[in-house]
Structure 1
Amino acid sequence: MKNWWQEEVIYQIYPKSFNDSNNDGIGDINGIREKLPYLEDLGITMIWICPIFKSPMIDNGYDISDYQDINPDFGTIHDLEDLIKEAEQRGIKIILDLVVNHSSDEHPWFQEALENPSSKYRDYYIFRKPSNGAPPNNWRSIFGGSVWEKVRNEEIYYMHTFDKKQPDLNFENPELRREIYSMINWWLDKGIAGFRIDSITFIKKDQDYSSLPADGVDQLVTCKHKTRNRPGISEFLHELKQETFNKYDCVTVGEAPGVEYEEFDDYIGEDGYFSMIFDFKYADIDVESGSDWFKRTDWSIKEFRDLLFKSQEAIQKVGWGANFIENHDQPRAISKLIKDPSYQNYYGGSALALMYMFLRGTPFLYQGQEIGATNFTRQFIEQFDDISSIDNYYRSMSEGFSKEEALNFVNLRSRDNTRTPMQWNTSRYAGFSQYAPWLEVNENYDMINVASQEDDPESLLNFYRLLISTRNTSTHRDTLIFGNITPVYDTKENIISYYREGSTETLQVIVNLSSDKTSMEIQSFTSIISNYENIQNNDGSITLRPYEAMLIKLN
């Protein structure tokens, strides 16, 4: 069955860093409105906006203190309604971030739970008594330290999977669930197209709350074993879908780490909980665990390719995928996936773009990805805003690494890499604002920016425009959106190639993801897109230059 959201190209906006319309150093909703012509010109059809709800911004909006109000830094509900309306006139839909595993500790529910232990709101969160005078168990939070925080003046702890200012909501409580559903439906009634759903696999906890063997020098163990995608979560997710999403023609994109491939049918199959999910197995190739950045891997292109193909094959069996190489929690793809620094430019960026843009599924772009934004290099830990970066810096040193090594791990993996202000032009603060921004601009903004690429036909920005229009409006549209995908495994190790098969044509993507020249046997073809000027075709084989990428039609 074909669904409307399979045809979208989605652009993720980190509102705090996209465009500042009122010059206070913080991006805002009206800043997004100002850039709608740019986004329409890029060809995207939907915007996913990271959280703009009322929040103390401890985790940049993923700590919500009022689900039905907008944080004043970003504007007002009316600004959002105007954005939805104006975007719609340009053929662009809006989805918001849904964060329901936890709230802010400043949410009225939690404040009431602390103030009044006998109030119903105490059961909206997870409170447990100490174990032998210590926290209830030895689980480590995703952001480091115990998942338990002691309540002042009471012999009791509350649980937080993430930061201590993000207490977990208690999904075992049906009344809490009903409140959440009512809020979700309120937003859908406002005319948004759906939600990207944050950390949703954490809403079910093992109810024994038992300790496990420690896995670090802090004598704690990652909470993932007992809090992520646990037995019984299906009841919560089915109910969530029935009470909200099923009532609307909306799209839902689950952030679903910890879901094994054999469970994909439950998540995105015909009766799955969501329209599509993000798969992180290939995205986190550079680290052993997404929350332990000091456990680096020495990955190969072949390993990356095999993970990518495995993901595509698992998704294609049951449903639809959300394809991405960057987001607000990942470093910049060019810096992470292009191993030769001298190709962390147009060639590396265009090779990655072509490689993932034509996979089967809905492509997601993250702001700045289309101009080839890169990681930064910070000299001091004080230059970081991200709580996860600060935690990993100190955890790395507690695990025996030096200050320099710890800073290097953080520079490589920091979530601030993709949160630096969008690089619009060469003016001070990169055209993001006329006022010093909340986070330092990347030092290379005078080289990498929208203005310098806008009218350059050879730029990465215009290459992305070409890819998007080819997928969405060319004669190959049906094949590139709905066609089957068949990975090609018998190539040289640095080559990523796959077929897209439609009813009347077979297309092939070929990407040399290395700085070595290499060759590949090929049948007769017609070129559709290439990131080099002419394909070096030698009767039955092609020579691939460093980071050469192409989409061809087999004759």
Structure 2
Amino acid sequence: MATTRWWKDEIVYQVYPRSFQDTNNDGIGDLQGVIRRLDYLKTLGITMIWLSPVYRSPMVDMGYDISDYQAIDPQFGTMADFDELLKEAKKRGIKLIMDLVVNHTSDQHTWFKQALADSNSPYRNYYIFKKTTDGQVPNNWRSIFGGSTWTAVPNEPGTYYFHTFAPQQPDLNWENPQLRQAIYRMINWWLDKGIAGYRIDAITHLKKDLDWASLPPDGKDGLVSVIKKGQNRPGLNKFLDELKTATFKKYNAVTIGEAYGVPAANLPQFIGPDGYFSMIFDFSYLNIDIANVDEWYRGKADWTIKDLKKTIFSAQKAIKQAGGWTANVLENHDQPRVLSKLIKNSAEQTPQAAKALAAMYYFLPGVPFIYQGQEIGMKNFQRSSIKQFNDVSSINNYQTALKAGLQPKQALKLLNDRSRDNARTPMQWDNTQFGGFSQTQPWLELGNDRQGINVAAEEQDSASVLNFYRRMGKLRQDKRYHSTFIDGQLRELTVPNEVIGYQRRSANQTITVLVNLAATVQNVSRPVGSVLLNSHTKLQLNQNQLILKPYQAVVFG
């Protein structure tokens, strides 16, 4: 795997199937919907689709609670539909990767049902059960979705099972070799089907501290965040080494780890030449707007463009020092829309700003990932009631915020800013009532700021966000510049605080990227070369100065 790094050339598009395209008019997107839109995806220059979970699931956490790893949930279609998608994507030169969720299953998984039904079942050891003598929960750890990490087992007083996330998502016991082997068989079954690899969910949570000790509380609820005892803990390397050897390495598969909290010093183990994964997501700047990624009800962080710049280049430096590769992202299914998040003034959340953000991240070293709707500049919603939310994390964080003393209005404002539902509103294909997503009421209300933000309208506008993404895709794959974009060195430029500027350099070529993230004009030195890409229709030069208009991005080469 480490020798070829074939995946360096990829451009990846994340499909959240539930919200992408509904073909049977039940208000829920499906696999046939993804097939229907493959030709559209091809126009973006993408070479790979990351398909968010389509496994059988009760959907408490929208498919990240899996009840059968080797079945397609009927809401999305059938295994025949999946096989057809794989085949049709391949015809268009598009690979497919799946979501791998192996920290936990659904509480509806056969394994867990058998573990609950019989305390002597071998499946009891597939999960983490503890019995206490005083009847109290084993420790004071707080789950990522709020509340205790322990839930009482019915009809067994003093016995609890462990969950890092929701109670309906019991953690698997990775200390059990039988469990690990069962997981590896399942992974290889999908790889044998012909998928190209996996995006790997919550992978730094597999190892927990086996003393299960309580720690001093870090909140008014008397609990302490589970990440202190159950994220990136000593011994995780044993599991990740074995996982890679037993599965991915055999197939030369691409793997992208969701590896929150990995210290820079450990990056070589994760993504170095012989690392556990092909790459990990660069989340460094995705959460720049909040004080605490796991407890965002605690409020927003104060940040500047200068801070954003420093964060981006520091992360890139750490990745390079690790000898590794990164997955570059602005959005995903767990994040609010970037236009609403990184552009603080709502009046400035324009197509021009969306294009500027796109150019900022797309040409950094690493593989660009596009999340559905990002390429048309979709925005956050505004909801007026907690009843309008679906996401389990949002609802739990709302309750936790109220318990922490916030007023309902304050909690709702935070929710509108940070809810994962922001990314999950249906894709906006046209300006009809249900956005061309469905002919019936969708499972989740559409965004309410969508005037002109849809594929049909943007197809007709050469200066649209959509057509800018298409131009970026063409430029990255242009034979004249391709090797510099893939393997060129990164050099940060000295530019005004509000401008993000960098070069990609190879032996005989320099490509310069300049992005003005301010609502004011900014002057920079004119780069050498000709204009390869301009997010505005015009370019203003004054002798050796380039005058960047508000939210203007240019690429010279």
Question: Same fold by TM (over 0.5)?
Answer: yes
Moved more, 106-115 or 446-455: 446-455
State whether structure 2 residue 547 is matched by structure 1 residue 543. yes
SS state of the match for residue 111, structure 1?
A: helix
State whether structure 2 residue 346 is matched by structure 1 residue 344. no
Displacement of 1:131 in angstroms is: 6.1
Aligned to 1:552: 556
State whether structure 2 residue 258 is matched by structure 1 residue 224. no
SS state of the match for residue 94, structure 1?
A: strand
Displacement of 1:475 in angstroms is: 1.4
Aligned to 1:458: 463
Aligned to 1:164: 167
Aligned to 1:37: 39
Aligned to 1:333: 338
**In 2, Cα distance between equivalents of 1:519 and 1:473:** 29
1:132-165 alpha-carbon deviations (Å, 9 max, x no partner): 3311000000000000000011120000000000
Q: Which amino acid aligns with 2:459?
A: E
Displacement of 1:517 in angstroms is: 1.4
**In 1, Cα distance between equivalents of 2:38 and 2:133:** 54
Contact 2:17 2:34 in 1 (8 A): yes
- Written as runs of structure 1 = structure 2, the 5 A alignment for 1:213-252 is 213-252=216-255
Counterpart selection for 2:310 from 278, 289, 306: 306
SS state of the match for residue 462, structure 1?
A: helix
Counterpart selection for 2:123 from 118, 121, 135: 121
Aligned to 2:513: 509
Contact 1:351 1:548 in 2 (8 A): yes
SS state of the match for residue 71, structure 2?
A: strand
State whether structure 2 residue 211 is matched by structure 1 residue 208. yes
Q: Which amino acid aligns with 2:500?
A: I
Q: Which amino acid aligns with 2:92?
A: R
Contact 1:340 1:514 in 2 (8 A): no
Moved more, 446-455 or 54-63: 446-455
Moved more, 400-409 or 178-187: 400-409
Moved more, 364-373 or 127-136: 127-136
Aligned to 2:30: 28
Q: Which amino acid aligns with 1:395?
A: T
Aligned to 1:146: 148
**In 1, Cα distance between equivalents of 2:45 and 2:527:** 32
**In 2, Cα distance between equivalents of 1:528 and 1:265:** 34
Contact 1:6 1:361 in 2 (8 A): yes
Q: Which amino acid aligns with 1:103?
A: T
Displacement of 1:391 in angstroms is: 1.2
**In 2, Cα distance between equivalents of 1:151 and 1:231:** 29
5+ unaligned residues in a row in structure 1: which ranges? none
Q: Which amino acid aligns with 2:410?
A: E
**In 1, Cα distance between equivalents of 2:150 and 2:501:** 47
Counterpart selection for 1:176 from 157, 176, 179: 179
Aligned to 2:434: 429
Contact 2:283 2:329 in 1 (8 A): no
Aligned to 1:83: 85
Aligned to 2:531: 527
**In 2, Cα distance between equivalents of 1:33 and 1:508:** 37
Displacement of 1:216 in angstroms is: 1.0
Q: Which amino acid aligns with 2:348?
A: Y
Q: Which amino acid aligns with 2:514?
A: I
**In 2, Cα distance between equivalents of 1:23 and 1:524:** 53
Aligned to 1:97: 99
SS state of the match for residue 145, structure 2?
A: coil
**In 1, Cα distance between equivalents of 2:479 and 2:431:** 34
Contact 2:67 2:105 in 1 (8 A): yes
SS state of the match for residue 96, structure 2?
A: strand
Aligned to 1:439: 444
Contact 1:486 1:498 in 2 (8 A): yes
SS state of the match for residue 65, structure 2?
A: coil
Aligned to 1:16: 18
Aligned to 1:415: 420
**In 2, Cα distance between equivalents of 1:539 and 1:447:** 37
Contact 2:528 2:556 in 1 (8 A): no
**In 1, Cα distance between equivalents of 2:4 and 2:304:** 36
**In 2, Cα distance between equivalents of 1:57 and 1:205:** 26
Aligned to 1:64: 66
Displacement of 1:447 in angstroms is: 2.6
Contact 1:143 1:391 in 2 (8 A): yes
Displacement of 1:130 in angstroms is: 2.6
Contact 2:463 2:536 in 1 (8 A): no
- Written as runs of structure 1 = structure 2, the 5 A alignment for 1:365-376 is 365-376=370-381
SS state of the match for residue 194, structure 2?
A: coil
Aligned to 1:282: 285
SS state of the match for residue 118, structure 1?
A: coil
Aligned to 2:364: 359
Q: Which amino acid aligns with 1:374?
A: K
1:453-472 alpha-carbon deviations (Å, 9 max, x no partner): 01211111000000011001
**In 1, Cα distance between equivalents of 2:133 and 2:391:** 32
Displacement of 1:345 in angstroms is: 1.5
Counterpart selection for 1:518 from 522, 539, 543: 522
Q: Which amino acid aligns with 1:367?
A: Q
1:61-86 alpha-carbon deviations (Å, 9 max, x no partner): 00000000000000111100010000
**In 2, Cα distance between equivalents of 1:523 and 1:24:** 53
**In 1, Cα distance between equivalents of 2:518 and 2:344:** 7
Displacement of 1:329 in angstroms is: 0.2
1:372-411 alpha-carbon deviations (Å, 9 max, x no partner): 0000000000000001111111111221211111000000
Q: Which amino acid aligns with 1:139?
A: W
**In 2, Cα distance between equivalents of 1:453 and 1:315:** 35
Q: Which amino acid aligns with 1:507?
A: I
Q: Which amino acid aligns with 1:300?
A: T
Number of aligned residue pairs? 552
**In 1, Cα distance between equivalents of 2:527 and 2:147:** 57
Contact 2:463 2:537 in 1 (8 A): no
Displacement of 1:523 in angstroms is: 4.5
5+ unaligned residues in a row in structure 2: which ranges? none
SS state of the match for residue 430, structure 1?
A: coil
1:144-200 alpha-carbon deviations (Å, 9 max, x no partner): 000000001112000000000000000000000000000000000000010000000
Displacement of 1:32 in angstroms is: 0.3
Q: Which amino acid aligns with 2:174?
A: F
Counterpart selection for 1:492 from 496, 502, 507: 496
Moved more, 529-538 or 9-18: 529-538
SS state of the match for residue 182, structure 2?
A: helix
Identity %: 51
Displacement of 1:540 in angstroms is: 2.1
1:10-69 alpha-carbon deviations (Å, 9 max, x no partner): 000100000001110000000100001101112111000000000000000000000000
Moved more, 501-510 or 472-481: 472-481
Q: Structure 1-normalised TM-score? A: 0.98
Displacement of 1:495 in angstroms is: 1.0
Aligned to 1:197: 200
Moved more, 521-530 or 453-462: 521-530
SS state of the match for residue 434, structure 2?
A: helix
Contact 2:127 2:161 in 1 (8 A): yes
Q: Which amino acid aligns with 2:196?
A: A
Contact 1:529 1:552 in 2 (8 A): yes
Moved more, 539-548 or 328-337: 539-548
